[in-house]
Structure 1
């Protein structure tokens, strides 16, 4: 018999702080509010599209030279598609498209593409486990991403024989928040759950907590992967959970399940 899924109404009155960038933060906040939670949004990562340079235009105009195009996030995919639409009214044939996770693949699919994605997971490691990315004979790969980021995909595909070209389309930075905004979100609101869906976001949250005097030791951190969970554990934050996917509904469901489990465990403690 299958284990029943927890009722998201268990989130009534729970305090959730979302540190994702916009617009994803507000969209996820609506999902938590629909489940009855009290929610604050405090983005700790902001994204800024890079200007369209001659180098970027040349890469997109030469899209038909690539055998594989990989987008690392829905945001990267959306920026790429907006630029490519200016030059490619019809997509060149022969390209294998990839999204790191379902959300990225869905962004590509909405433009008539048939992207591949990992059968499970939404990390660089999951992408690199795909059979079609194991061996290359100098095929050209276009990697659509931010200005900075993990180098794992670039390094691994290069080692496997691919000719990888980076197409950076945006930069990330930590947004400035007034002290009153930070104090309200951390010291007054006292979140039970904080959503930190990248290693960079987690680092910014840890630094902000330290500087503001907020103690996150008992806070449940929602992280995207084991790698970021380990990062939290090394910082002394042991209460973490990883959602089944990065879809809003799965994040809400994972938090409901984890809080339900923790409440049940506390209730049985003698």
Structure 2
């Protein structure tokens, strides 16, 4: 059975219990739903339910379609999206769904998806290293440089995101930097993930300063700040980046689940 929601509020009200079964996986679902005042063929929330199995698909421009739930409903959901001409480009979901998306999309959509970014979702809940005095909070004076570094970060990750400079300014207090001789060498930020966790994002070191351990220092400082609030620190790491994986594990992060971004083959 398919249900199309008219807005994010009604969707959350009806599905909160299901979403809260895995708050890490559903955190982005909540973010997109809270920003959706009305739905259409470009911005939509659709649920498939078959024999007590559920799958939610939510698409908010300019982001990928997010999938959350049971693989058993994937066929029905994709078929409905395709037949009713809802916009469908990139998909972000746990790899357990992504592994099924690839063959099913060939049969139902006559399109072929491929994994472009595989990520491990990690969490840390204990102190392992003291914070570094090299790391400081960013200010509005750093905004232009942080914005330019964010553009490079997005390009390096192969993402299609468009950073919002005004929004970054409003959240500048959430950025941490290593600034030496009036130049930012590395940065990272954090934001609320769930009621019990904060997510570390945009971990980036300029090319010419890599290999100095800056990413480890910034992530560890942010982790310690988050733990001091009584929360759990979380982050995503590219599976193709063994250096970052090793760094995060060395300061107490552990893998929880894997997810990926899937795009249509050219």
TM-score (norm 2): 0.26
> Which of the pair has more CA radius of gyration?
1
TM-score (norm 1): 0.25
More strand by share: 2
